[in-house]
Chains A and B, each alone.
Chain A
Protein backbone atom coordinates (compact mmCIF):
# COMPACT_ATOMS: atom_id res chain seq x y z
CA UNK A 1 0.00 0.00 0.00
CA UNK A 2 2.68 2.46 1.09
CA UNK A 3 4.83 1.34 -1.84
CA UNK A 4 2.02 1.94 -4.27
CA UNK A 5 1.45 5.35 -2.72
CA UNK A 6 5.13 6.24 -2.92
CA UNK A 7 5.41 5.14 -6.54
CA UNK A 8 2.36 7.17 -7.52
CA UNK A 9 3.60 10.10 -5.54
CA UNK A 10 7.00 10.23 -7.16
CA UNK A 11 5.74 9.99 -10.73
CA UNK A 12 5.21 13.54 -11.92
CA UNK A 13 4.29 17.00 -10.69
CA UNK A 14 0.83 16.66 -12.21
CA UNK A 15 0.10 13.42 -10.37
CA UNK A 16 1.57 14.72 -7.13
CA UNK A 17 -0.46 17.91 -7.27
CA UNK A 18 -3.71 16.08 -7.95
CA UNK A 19 -3.08 13.56 -5.18
CA UNK A 20 -2.82 16.51 -2.81
CA UNK A 21 -5.83 18.27 -4.32
CA UNK A 22 -8.08 15.23 -4.51
CA UNK A 23 -9.70 15.50 -1.05
CA UNK A 24 -10.72 19.12 -1.61
CA UNK A 25 -11.81 18.51 -5.21
CA UNK A 26 -13.84 15.42 -4.27
CA UNK A 27 -15.56 17.45 -1.57
CA UNK A 28 -16.39 20.23 -4.04
CA UNK A 29 -17.70 17.71 -6.59
CA UNK A 30 -19.78 15.65 -4.15
CA UNK A 31 -20.75 18.50 -1.84
CA UNK A 32 -21.45 21.19 -4.40
CA UNK A 33 -21.42 20.13 -8.06
CA UNK A 34 -23.64 17.05 -7.63
CA UNK A 35 -26.12 18.87 -5.34
CA UNK A 36 -26.27 21.76 -7.83
CA UNK A 37 -27.10 19.28 -10.59
CA UNK A 38 -29.84 17.91 -8.32
CA UNK A 39 -31.25 21.42 -7.90
CA UNK A 40 -31.07 21.88 -11.65
CA UNK A 41 -33.04 18.68 -12.29
CA UNK A 42 -35.60 19.42 -9.57
CA UNK A 43 -36.28 22.75 -11.29
CA UNK A 44 -37.78 20.78 -14.22
CA UNK A 45 -40.33 18.94 -12.06
CA UNK A 46 -43.74 19.74 -10.59
CA UNK A 47 -44.90 19.86 -6.99
CA UNK A 48 -48.09 17.77 -6.73
CA UNK A 49 -49.46 18.31 -3.19
CA UNK A 50 -47.00 16.22 -1.11
CA UNK A 51 -45.14 14.35 -3.83
CA UNK A 52 -42.91 15.67 -6.57
CA UNK A 53 -44.00 14.75 -10.10
CA UNK A 54 -40.80 13.98 -12.00
CA UNK A 55 -42.14 14.44 -15.53
CA UNK A 56 -39.69 16.89 -17.13
CA UNK A 57 -41.24 20.28 -17.83
CA UNK A 58 -40.26 23.91 -18.35
CA UNK A 59 -43.35 25.07 -16.48
CA UNK A 60 -41.46 26.37 -13.42
CA UNK A 61 -39.37 28.68 -15.59
CA UNK A 62 -42.47 29.84 -17.44
CA UNK A 63 -44.16 30.39 -14.06
CA UNK A 64 -41.18 32.51 -12.97
CA UNK A 65 -41.03 34.60 -16.15
CA UNK A 66 -44.77 35.05 -16.69
CA UNK A 67 -45.25 38.58 -15.42
CA UNK A 68 -48.99 38.53 -16.04
CA UNK A 69 -49.53 36.05 -13.20
CA UNK A 70 -49.15 37.09 -9.56
CA UNK A 71 -46.34 34.61 -8.80
CA UNK A 72 -44.36 35.55 -11.89
CA UNK A 73 -44.84 39.22 -11.21
CA UNK A 74 -43.56 38.90 -7.65
CA UNK A 75 -40.62 36.70 -8.59
CA UNK A 76 -39.35 38.86 -11.46
CA UNK A 77 -39.74 41.98 -9.33
CA UNK A 78 -37.75 40.37 -6.52
CA UNK A 79 -35.02 39.21 -8.92
CA UNK A 80 -34.70 42.71 -10.37
CA UNK A 81 -34.65 44.18 -6.89
CA UNK A 82 -32.02 41.70 -5.65
CA UNK A 83 -29.75 42.66 -8.52
CA UNK A 84 -30.30 46.41 -8.22
CA UNK A 85 -29.85 46.37 -4.41
CA UNK A 86 -26.63 44.38 -4.76
CA UNK A 87 -25.30 46.82 -7.33
CA UNK A 88 -26.17 49.74 -5.08
CA UNK A 89 -24.43 48.01 -2.19
CA UNK A 90 -21.33 47.30 -4.27
CA UNK A 91 -21.22 50.88 -5.55
CA UNK A 92 -21.88 52.45 -2.15
CA UNK A 93 -19.30 50.22 -0.45
CA UNK A 94 -16.78 51.02 -3.17
CA UNK A 95 -17.04 54.80 -2.90
CA UNK A 96 -17.03 54.77 0.91
CA UNK A 97 -14.10 52.36 1.32
CA UNK A 98 -11.87 53.60 -1.50
CA UNK A 99 -10.64 56.69 0.41
CA UNK A 100 -9.96 54.52 3.47
CA UNK A 101 -7.92 51.99 1.48
CA UNK A 102 -6.16 54.90 -0.23
CA UNK A 103 -5.29 56.47 3.08
CA UNK A 104 -3.91 53.26 4.56
CA UNK A 105 -1.95 52.43 1.41
CA UNK A 106 -0.33 55.85 0.91
CA UNK A 107 -0.39 57.82 4.15
CA UNK A 108 -0.02 55.28 6.94
CA UNK A 109 3.65 54.69 7.62
CA UNK A 110 3.77 53.05 11.02
CA UNK A 111 1.69 50.15 12.31
CA UNK A 112 0.11 49.23 8.99
CA UNK A 113 -0.69 45.85 10.50
CA UNK A 114 -2.81 47.46 13.18
CA UNK A 115 -4.80 49.40 10.59
CA UNK A 116 -5.38 46.25 8.57
CA UNK A 117 -6.54 44.37 11.64
CA UNK A 118 -8.92 47.23 12.46
CA UNK A 119 -10.31 47.18 8.91
CA UNK A 120 -11.07 43.47 8.96
CA UNK A 121 -11.99 42.81 12.58
CA UNK A 122 -15.72 43.70 12.29
CA UNK A 123 -16.02 41.19 9.45
CA UNK A 124 -15.24 38.33 11.82
CA UNK A 125 -17.92 39.20 14.35
CA UNK A 126 -21.19 37.42 13.79
CA UNK A 127 -23.01 38.59 10.66
CA UNK A 128 -26.36 37.99 12.34
CA UNK A 129 -25.38 40.25 15.23
CA UNK A 130 -24.14 43.01 12.96
CA UNK A 131 -27.42 43.05 11.06
CA UNK A 132 -29.25 42.98 14.34
CA UNK A 133 -27.26 45.98 15.57
CA UNK A 134 -28.57 47.94 12.59
CA UNK A 135 -32.10 46.97 13.53
CA UNK A 136 -31.48 48.57 16.91
CA UNK A 137 -30.14 51.71 15.26
CA UNK A 138 -32.62 52.20 12.41
CA UNK A 139 -35.76 50.93 14.15
CA UNK A 140 -38.83 53.09 14.82
CA UNK A 141 -37.79 53.38 18.46
CA UNK A 142 -34.16 52.90 17.51
CA UNK A 143 -31.10 54.94 18.30
CA UNK A 144 -31.42 57.44 15.43
CA UNK A 145 -35.15 58.10 15.73
CA UNK A 146 -35.10 58.24 19.52
CA UNK A 147 -32.19 60.69 19.64
CA UNK A 148 -33.63 62.92 16.91
CA UNK A 149 -36.96 63.01 18.73
CA UNK A 150 -35.35 63.77 22.10
CA UNK A 151 -33.41 66.64 20.60
CA UNK A 152 -36.64 67.81 18.94
CA UNK A 153 -35.63 67.74 15.27
CA UNK A 154 -38.55 65.48 14.41
CA UNK A 155 -41.91 64.67 15.99
CA UNK A 156 -42.56 61.34 14.28
CA UNK A 157 -40.06 58.50 13.69
CA UNK A 158 -38.53 58.64 10.22
CA UNK A 159 -40.33 55.91 8.31
CA UNK A 160 -37.82 55.42 5.52
CA UNK A 161 -35.04 54.36 7.88
CA UNK A 162 -36.43 50.95 8.79
CA UNK A 163 -38.04 48.22 6.68
CA UNK A 164 -36.90 49.78 3.43
CA UNK A 165 -34.36 49.26 0.68
CA UNK A 166 -32.29 52.06 2.21
CA UNK A 167 -31.98 50.03 5.40
CA UNK A 168 -30.92 46.96 3.40
CA UNK A 169 -28.30 48.89 1.43
CA UNK A 170 -26.78 50.57 4.52
CA UNK A 171 -26.69 47.31 6.48
CA UNK A 172 -25.12 45.31 3.65
CA UNK A 173 -22.57 48.05 2.90
CA UNK A 174 -21.52 47.83 6.53
CA UNK A 175 -21.47 44.04 6.59
CA UNK A 176 -19.34 43.63 3.46
CA UNK A 177 -16.92 46.52 3.98
CA UNK A 178 -13.92 44.25 4.59
CA UNK A 179 -14.42 42.58 1.22
CA UNK A 180 -13.98 45.92 -0.53
CA UNK A 181 -11.25 47.29 1.74
CA UNK A 182 -8.84 44.39 1.22
CA UNK A 183 -8.78 44.09 -2.59
CA UNK A 184 -8.64 47.89 -2.87
CA UNK A 185 -5.81 48.11 -0.38
CA UNK A 186 -3.84 45.33 -2.07
CA UNK A 187 -4.13 46.94 -5.52
CA UNK A 188 -3.30 50.45 -4.24
CA UNK A 189 -0.37 49.19 -2.19
CA UNK A 190 1.17 47.66 -5.33
CA UNK A 191 1.29 51.00 -7.18
CA UNK A 192 4.85 52.15 -7.69
CA UNK A 193 5.19 55.46 -5.90
CA UNK A 194 7.61 56.85 -8.48
CA UNK A 195 4.77 56.84 -11.03
CA UNK A 196 2.89 59.30 -8.87
CA UNK A 197 5.99 61.46 -8.46
CA UNK A 198 6.59 61.36 -12.21
CA UNK A 199 3.04 62.52 -12.81
CA UNK A 200 3.58 65.49 -10.49
CA UNK A 201 6.90 66.33 -12.06
CA UNK A 202 5.23 66.37 -15.44
CA UNK A 203 2.80 68.97 -14.17
CA UNK A 204 -0.35 67.07 -13.26
CA UNK A 205 -2.50 68.38 -10.45
CA UNK A 206 -3.46 66.15 -7.54
CA UNK A 207 -6.77 65.34 -9.14
CA UNK A 208 -5.29 64.60 -12.57
CA UNK A 209 -2.70 62.34 -10.96
CA UNK A 210 -5.43 60.45 -9.20
CA UNK A 211 -7.69 60.19 -12.23
CA UNK A 212 -5.03 59.32 -14.82
CA UNK A 213 -2.53 57.32 -12.76
CA UNK A 214 -3.83 55.97 -9.46
CA UNK A 215 -7.42 55.14 -10.42
CA UNK A 216 -6.60 53.15 -13.62
CA UNK A 217 -3.90 51.22 -11.79
CA UNK A 218 -6.30 50.35 -8.98
CA UNK A 219 -8.99 49.09 -11.38
CA UNK A 220 -8.26 45.38 -10.79
CA UNK A 221 -8.93 45.95 -7.08
CA UNK A 222 -12.05 47.95 -7.88
CA UNK A 223 -13.49 45.21 -10.09
CA UNK A 224 -12.52 42.57 -7.53
CA UNK A 225 -14.25 44.52 -4.79
CA UNK A 226 -17.41 45.12 -6.83
CA UNK A 227 -17.77 41.47 -7.84
CA UNK A 228 -16.91 39.98 -4.46
CA UNK A 229 -19.64 42.12 -2.92
CA UNK A 230 -22.18 41.87 -5.71
CA UNK A 231 -22.20 38.07 -6.07
CA UNK A 232 -22.90 37.01 -2.48
CA UNK A 233 -25.28 39.89 -1.68
CA UNK A 234 -27.64 38.95 -4.53
CA UNK A 235 -28.46 35.89 -2.45
CA UNK A 236 -28.51 37.56 0.93
CA UNK A 237 -31.27 36.40 3.24
CA UNK A 238 -30.67 37.70 6.76
CA UNK A 239 -30.53 41.44 6.03
CA UNK A 240 -33.73 41.74 3.98
CA UNK A 241 -35.49 39.46 6.46
CA UNK A 242 -34.46 41.55 9.50
CA UNK A 243 -34.43 45.14 8.23
CA UNK A 244 -36.00 44.98 4.75
CA UNK A 245 -39.70 44.66 5.54
CA UNK A 246 -42.01 44.17 2.54
CA UNK A 247 -40.38 46.87 0.48
CA UNK A 248 -36.90 45.41 0.95
CA UNK A 249 -37.69 41.73 0.38
CA UNK A 250 -35.32 39.96 -1.95
CA UNK A 251 -35.43 36.80 -4.05
CA UNK A 252 -33.73 34.65 -1.38
CA UNK A 253 -36.56 35.33 1.07
CA UNK A 254 -38.95 33.88 -1.50
CA UNK A 255 -36.66 30.91 -2.18
CA UNK A 256 -36.56 30.21 1.55
CA UNK A 257 -40.38 30.25 1.63
CA UNK A 258 -40.57 27.74 -1.23
CA UNK A 259 -38.20 25.39 0.58
CA UNK A 260 -39.97 25.97 3.88
CA UNK A 261 -43.59 26.88 4.53
CA UNK A 262 -44.79 26.94 0.91
CA UNK A 263 -43.17 23.54 0.26
CA UNK A 264 -42.67 24.02 -3.45
CA UNK A 265 -39.17 22.65 -4.07
CA UNK A 266 -39.42 22.77 -7.91
CA UNK A 267 -40.29 26.47 -8.07
CA UNK A 268 -37.69 27.26 -5.41
CA UNK A 269 -35.08 25.31 -7.39
CA UNK A 270 -36.01 27.13 -10.61
CA UNK A 271 -35.69 30.49 -8.80
CA UNK A 272 -32.25 29.47 -7.50
CA UNK A 273 -31.10 28.43 -10.99
CA UNK A 274 -32.31 31.73 -12.42
CA UNK A 275 -30.51 33.61 -9.64
CA UNK A 276 -27.29 31.74 -10.36
CA UNK A 277 -27.54 32.38 -14.11
CA UNK A 278 -28.22 36.10 -13.58
CA UNK A 279 -25.21 36.37 -11.28
CA UNK A 280 -23.03 34.59 -13.84
CA UNK A 281 -24.26 36.86 -16.67
CA UNK A 282 -23.61 40.03 -14.66
CA UNK A 283 -20.14 38.80 -13.69
CA UNK A 284 -19.26 38.05 -17.31
CA UNK A 285 -20.66 41.42 -18.43
CA UNK A 286 -18.62 43.30 -15.82
CA UNK A 287 -15.48 41.44 -16.88
CA UNK A 288 -16.04 42.14 -20.59
CA UNK A 289 -16.75 45.83 -20.01
CA UNK A 290 -13.66 46.30 -17.86
CA UNK A 291 -11.47 44.52 -20.41
CA UNK A 292 -12.69 46.92 -23.06
CA UNK A 293 -12.11 49.88 -20.78
CA UNK A 294 -8.63 48.86 -19.72
CA UNK A 295 -7.62 48.19 -23.31
CA UNK A 296 -8.43 51.78 -24.20
CA UNK A 297 -6.30 53.16 -21.39
Chain B
Protein backbone atom coordinates (compact mmCIF):
# COMPACT_ATOMS: atom_id res chain seq x y z
CA UNK B 1 0.00 0.00 0.00
CA UNK B 2 1.33 3.38 -0.92
CA UNK B 3 0.18 6.22 1.24
CA UNK B 4 0.45 8.73 -1.53
CA UNK B 5 -3.11 9.13 -2.52
CA UNK B 6 -6.56 8.24 -1.37
CA UNK B 7 -9.16 10.09 -3.34
CA UNK B 8 -12.23 9.02 -1.37
CA UNK B 9 -10.66 10.00 1.92
CA UNK B 10 -9.46 13.31 0.50
CA UNK B 11 -12.96 14.18 -0.71
CA UNK B 12 -14.41 13.22 2.67
CA UNK B 13 -11.89 15.47 4.42
CA UNK B 14 -12.84 18.38 2.17
CA UNK B 15 -16.54 17.82 2.93
CA UNK B 16 -15.78 17.67 6.65
CA UNK B 17 -13.87 20.93 6.51
CA UNK B 18 -16.91 22.37 4.77
CA UNK B 19 -19.05 21.17 7.67
CA UNK B 20 -16.55 22.78 10.05
CA UNK B 21 -16.27 26.14 8.33
CA UNK B 22 -19.39 26.88 6.29
CA UNK B 23 -21.78 27.31 9.26
CA UNK B 24 -19.58 30.01 10.74
CA UNK B 25 -19.40 31.80 7.37
CA UNK B 26 -23.13 32.47 7.45
CA UNK B 27 -22.72 35.07 10.19
CA UNK B 28 -20.58 37.43 8.07
CA UNK B 29 -22.76 36.74 5.00
CA UNK B 30 -26.01 37.67 6.75
CA UNK B 31 -24.39 40.62 8.50
CA UNK B 32 -24.14 42.40 5.13
CA UNK B 33 -27.71 41.54 4.20
CA UNK B 34 -30.35 44.24 3.95
CA UNK B 35 -33.33 44.12 6.32
CA UNK B 36 -33.86 42.07 9.46
CA UNK B 37 -34.77 38.67 8.04
CA UNK B 38 -32.00 36.11 8.32
CA UNK B 39 -32.97 33.94 5.36
CA UNK B 40 -32.14 33.32 1.74
CA UNK B 41 -32.50 34.81 -0.79
CA UNK B 42 -30.36 37.74 0.33
CA UNK B 43 -32.05 41.12 0.03
CA UNK B 44 -29.04 43.13 -1.08
CA UNK B 45 -25.75 44.46 0.22
CA UNK B 46 -25.78 46.95 3.05
CA UNK B 47 -23.61 48.04 5.95
CA UNK B 48 -26.57 49.29 8.02
CA UNK B 49 -26.07 46.61 10.68
CA UNK B 50 -22.48 47.70 11.19
CA UNK B 51 -23.62 51.30 11.68
CA UNK B 52 -26.22 50.00 14.09
CA UNK B 53 -23.50 48.16 15.98
CA UNK B 54 -21.30 51.25 16.07
CA UNK B 55 -24.17 53.21 17.65
CA UNK B 56 -24.85 50.86 20.57
CA UNK B 57 -23.30 52.35 23.71
CA UNK B 58 -24.27 49.29 25.80
CA UNK B 59 -22.31 47.10 23.44
CA UNK B 60 -19.16 49.10 24.10
CA UNK B 61 -19.70 48.96 27.86
CA UNK B 62 -19.90 45.19 27.56
CA UNK B 63 -16.85 45.14 25.29
CA UNK B 64 -14.72 47.03 27.83
CA UNK B 65 -15.91 44.72 30.60
CA UNK B 66 -14.92 41.72 28.48
CA UNK B 67 -11.50 43.14 27.67
CA UNK B 68 -10.90 43.97 31.33
CA UNK B 69 -11.98 40.52 32.50
CA UNK B 70 -10.01 38.84 29.70
CA UNK B 71 -6.75 40.70 30.35
CA UNK B 72 -6.84 40.29 34.15
CA UNK B 73 -7.89 36.62 34.12
CA UNK B 74 -5.50 35.62 31.38
CA UNK B 75 -2.55 37.42 33.00
CA UNK B 76 -3.24 35.64 36.28
CA UNK B 77 -3.86 32.31 34.57
CA UNK B 78 -0.65 32.59 32.54
CA UNK B 79 1.32 33.35 35.70
CA UNK B 80 -0.16 30.43 37.68
CA UNK B 81 0.22 28.17 34.66
CA UNK B 82 3.84 29.19 34.23
CA UNK B 83 4.76 28.29 37.82
CA UNK B 84 2.88 25.01 37.55
CA UNK B 85 4.43 24.16 34.19
CA UNK B 86 7.87 24.89 35.67
CA UNK B 87 7.18 22.44 38.51
CA UNK B 88 5.97 19.74 36.12
CA UNK B 89 8.79 20.09 33.59
CA UNK B 90 11.70 20.58 36.01
CA UNK B 91 11.01 18.24 38.92
CA UNK B 92 9.90 14.69 39.63
CA UNK B 93 7.91 14.80 42.83
CA UNK B 94 5.42 12.89 44.92
CA UNK B 95 1.79 13.54 43.99
CA UNK B 96 2.73 14.75 40.52
CA UNK B 97 -0.13 13.07 38.66
CA UNK B 98 -2.62 14.07 41.34
CA UNK B 99 -1.59 17.74 41.22
CA UNK B 100 -1.73 17.72 37.43
CA UNK B 101 -5.23 16.27 37.53
CA UNK B 102 -6.34 18.76 40.18
CA UNK B 103 -5.26 21.74 38.08
CA UNK B 104 -6.96 20.32 34.96
CA UNK B 105 -10.25 19.53 36.76
CA UNK B 106 -11.93 22.95 36.41
CA UNK B 107 -11.70 22.52 32.67
CA UNK B 108 -12.77 18.87 32.70
CA UNK B 109 -15.92 19.01 34.81
CA UNK B 110 -19.12 20.30 33.17
CA UNK B 111 -18.81 24.07 33.18
CA UNK B 112 -22.26 24.65 34.65
CA UNK B 113 -21.16 22.89 37.84
CA UNK B 114 -18.19 25.22 38.25
CA UNK B 115 -20.52 28.16 37.63
CA UNK B 116 -23.12 27.23 40.24
CA UNK B 117 -20.39 26.27 42.74
CA UNK B 118 -18.92 29.78 42.50
CA UNK B 119 -22.41 31.27 42.63
CA UNK B 120 -23.34 29.35 45.78
CA UNK B 121 -20.15 30.22 47.65
CA UNK B 122 -20.29 33.86 46.54
CA UNK B 123 -23.90 34.32 47.59
CA UNK B 124 -23.50 32.48 50.89
CA UNK B 125 -20.48 34.57 51.87
CA UNK B 126 -22.64 37.58 51.05
CA UNK B 127 -20.40 39.21 48.44
CA UNK B 128 -21.92 41.15 45.53
CA UNK B 129 -21.92 39.40 42.14
CA UNK B 130 -20.12 41.08 39.27
CA UNK B 131 -16.84 41.04 37.42
CA UNK B 132 -14.70 39.78 40.35
CA UNK B 133 -16.28 36.32 40.64
CA UNK B 134 -16.31 36.10 36.83
CA UNK B 135 -12.55 36.74 36.84
CA UNK B 136 -11.98 34.02 39.46
CA UNK B 137 -14.02 31.58 37.37
CA UNK B 138 -12.11 32.51 34.23
CA UNK B 139 -8.71 32.10 35.91
CA UNK B 140 -9.80 28.60 37.00
CA UNK B 141 -11.00 27.84 33.50
CA UNK B 142 -8.01 29.30 31.58
CA UNK B 143 -5.15 28.00 33.77
CA UNK B 144 -5.36 24.39 32.45
CA UNK B 145 -5.17 25.59 28.83
CA UNK B 146 -2.26 27.91 29.48
CA UNK B 147 -0.48 25.19 31.45
CA UNK B 148 -0.76 22.62 28.64
CA UNK B 149 0.56 25.14 26.14
CA UNK B 150 3.46 26.13 28.40
CA UNK B 151 4.40 22.55 29.32
CA UNK B 152 4.66 21.69 25.61
CA UNK B 153 6.83 24.75 25.17
CA UNK B 154 9.01 24.19 28.23
CA UNK B 155 9.64 20.46 27.87
CA UNK B 156 12.84 21.06 25.96
CA UNK B 157 14.02 23.92 28.16
CA UNK B 158 17.71 23.66 28.96
CA UNK B 159 17.99 23.83 32.75
CA UNK B 160 21.76 24.30 32.48
CA UNK B 161 21.12 27.88 31.42
CA UNK B 162 19.47 28.62 34.75
CA UNK B 163 22.13 26.78 36.69
CA UNK B 164 24.86 28.72 34.89
CA UNK B 165 23.18 31.94 35.87
CA UNK B 166 22.89 30.81 39.50
CA UNK B 167 26.56 29.76 39.52
CA UNK B 168 27.49 33.17 38.20
CA UNK B 169 25.85 34.70 41.25
CA UNK B 170 22.34 35.72 40.21
CA UNK B 171 19.43 35.03 42.58
CA UNK B 172 16.29 33.07 41.76
CA UNK B 173 14.35 36.12 40.63
CA UNK B 174 17.05 37.75 38.53
CA UNK B 175 17.78 34.40 36.90
CA UNK B 176 14.16 34.18 35.93
CA UNK B 177 14.02 37.76 34.71
CA UNK B 178 17.24 37.76 32.71
CA UNK B 179 17.46 34.15 31.49
CA UNK B 180 14.25 32.12 31.51
CA UNK B 181 11.77 34.92 30.84
CA UNK B 182 13.30 36.17 27.57
CA UNK B 183 13.63 32.61 26.25
CA UNK B 184 10.06 31.68 27.15
CA UNK B 185 8.51 35.01 26.20
CA UNK B 186 6.94 33.90 22.89
CA UNK B 187 5.31 30.91 24.61
CA UNK B 188 4.09 33.08 27.46
CA UNK B 189 2.54 35.56 25.06
CA UNK B 190 0.89 32.71 23.13
CA UNK B 191 -0.55 31.32 26.38
CA UNK B 192 -1.76 34.78 27.37
CA UNK B 193 -3.44 35.39 24.00
CA UNK B 194 -5.22 32.03 23.95
CA UNK B 195 -6.29 32.47 27.59
CA UNK B 196 -7.64 35.89 26.68
CA UNK B 197 -9.67 34.46 23.81
CA UNK B 198 -11.15 31.76 26.05
CA UNK B 199 -12.15 34.32 28.66
CA UNK B 200 -13.41 36.76 26.03
CA UNK B 201 -15.76 34.15 24.54
CA UNK B 202 -16.81 32.50 27.80
CA UNK B 203 -20.54 32.66 28.42
CA UNK B 204 -21.82 30.32 31.12
CA UNK B 205 -19.71 31.43 34.10
CA UNK B 206 -20.42 35.05 33.18
CA UNK B 207 -24.15 34.38 32.96
CA UNK B 208 -24.38 32.94 36.46
CA UNK B 209 -22.03 35.43 38.10
CA UNK B 210 -22.74 38.63 36.18
CA UNK B 211 -24.74 40.70 38.64
CA UNK B 212 -25.40 43.88 36.66
CA UNK B 213 -22.09 43.95 34.76
CA UNK B 214 -22.48 42.46 31.31
CA UNK B 215 -19.68 40.93 29.31
CA UNK B 216 -19.90 40.79 25.53
CA UNK B 217 -21.30 37.22 25.24
CA UNK B 218 -23.96 38.12 27.84
CA UNK B 219 -24.84 41.22 25.85
CA UNK B 220 -25.19 39.15 22.67
CA UNK B 221 -27.31 36.55 24.48
CA UNK B 222 -29.63 39.32 25.70
CA UNK B 223 -30.03 40.72 22.19
CA UNK B 224 -30.83 37.38 20.55
CA UNK B 225 -34.39 37.53 21.86
CA UNK B 226 -35.31 40.60 19.80
CA UNK B 227 -35.63 40.00 16.06
CA UNK B 228 -34.94 43.68 15.42
CA UNK B 229 -31.71 43.76 17.41
CA UNK B 230 -30.44 40.52 15.94
CA UNK B 231 -28.70 41.77 12.78
CA UNK B 232 -26.29 43.98 14.69
CA UNK B 233 -25.33 40.95 16.79
CA UNK B 234 -24.43 39.25 13.50
CA UNK B 235 -22.26 42.21 12.54
CA UNK B 236 -20.61 42.08 15.95
CA UNK B 237 -20.21 38.32 15.57
CA UNK B 238 -18.50 38.73 12.21
CA UNK B 239 -16.06 41.25 13.70
CA UNK B 240 -15.36 38.94 16.67
CA UNK B 241 -14.76 35.94 14.41
CA UNK B 242 -12.25 37.83 12.25
CA UNK B 243 -10.51 39.37 15.28
CA UNK B 244 -10.22 36.12 17.25
CA UNK B 245 -8.96 34.22 14.20
CA UNK B 246 -6.19 36.77 13.74
CA UNK B 247 -5.23 36.66 17.43
CA UNK B 248 -5.23 32.84 17.44
CA UNK B 249 -3.04 32.68 14.33
CA UNK B 250 -0.63 35.11 15.95
CA UNK B 251 -0.58 32.92 19.07
CA UNK B 252 0.02 29.78 17.00
CA UNK B 253 2.88 31.47 15.21
CA UNK B 254 4.40 32.68 18.48
CA UNK B 255 4.20 29.20 19.93
CA UNK B 256 6.61 27.97 17.31
CA UNK B 257 9.03 30.90 17.32
CA UNK B 258 12.47 29.56 18.11
CA UNK B 259 11.23 25.96 18.29
CA UNK B 260 13.18 23.38 16.30
CA UNK B 261 11.23 22.12 13.29
CA UNK B 262 10.71 18.59 14.56
CA UNK B 263 9.19 19.83 17.83
CA UNK B 264 6.64 22.06 16.15
CA UNK B 265 4.01 19.37 15.66
CA UNK B 266 4.25 18.26 19.26
CA UNK B 267 3.36 21.70 20.55
CA UNK B 268 -0.08 21.05 19.18
CA UNK B 269 -1.37 18.93 22.00
CA UNK B 270 -4.18 21.45 22.40
Contact = CB atoms under 8 A, between A and B. Distances in A.
B261 to A, nearest CB: 10
A238 interface: yes
A277 B72 CA distance: 33
Interface string A206-240: 10010000000000000000001001101111100
A143 interface: yes
A255 B265 contact: no
A285 interface: no
Interface of B: 1, 3-6, 9-10, 12-13, 16-17, 19-21, 23-24, 26-27, 30, 37-41, 79-81, 83-84, 86-88, 90-94, 96, 99, 102-103, 105-106, 108-114, 116-121, 124, 136-137, 139-140, 143, 147, 171-172, 194, 197, 201, 203-204, 208, 217, 220-221, 224, 233, 237, 240-241, 244-245, 248-249, 252, 256, 264-265, 268-270
Contacts of A21: 83-84, 87, 99, 103
Interface string A236-277: 111000100000000010011001000001001100100110
Given A100-B13, A116-B265, A122 B21 contact: yes
B99 A25 contact: yes
A126 B220 CA distance: 11
17 contacts: A23-B83, A24-B103, A27-B143, A35-B121, A38-B121, A122-B20, A124-B194, A124-B197, A130-B23, A133-B23, A137-B23, A137-B26, A141-B38, A142-B39, A182-B268, A242-B224, A269-B116
A272 B116 contact: yes
Interface stretch (A8-16, A56-64, A66-74, A287-295): A8-16
Chain A CB within 10 A, most for which of B5, B17, B40, B105:
B40
B84 A20 contact: yes
Given A103-B13, A113-B256, A182-B270, A235 B39 contact: no
B20 A20 contact: no
Given A13-B92, A121-B245, A268-B116, A146 B86 contact: no
Given A38-B121, A129-B27, A103 B20 contact: no
A206 B1 contact: yes
A97 B108 contact: no
A127 interface: yes
Given A107-B3, A146-B39, A121 B23 contact: no
A113 B265 contact: yes
A169 interface: no
B178 to A, nearest CB: 17
Contacts of A42: 120, 124
A103 B80 contact: no
B192 to A, nearest CB: 14
Per CB-CB distance, the 5 closest pairs between chain A and chain B, nearest first, are: A235-B110, A35-B117, A20-B87, A35-B121, A17-B93
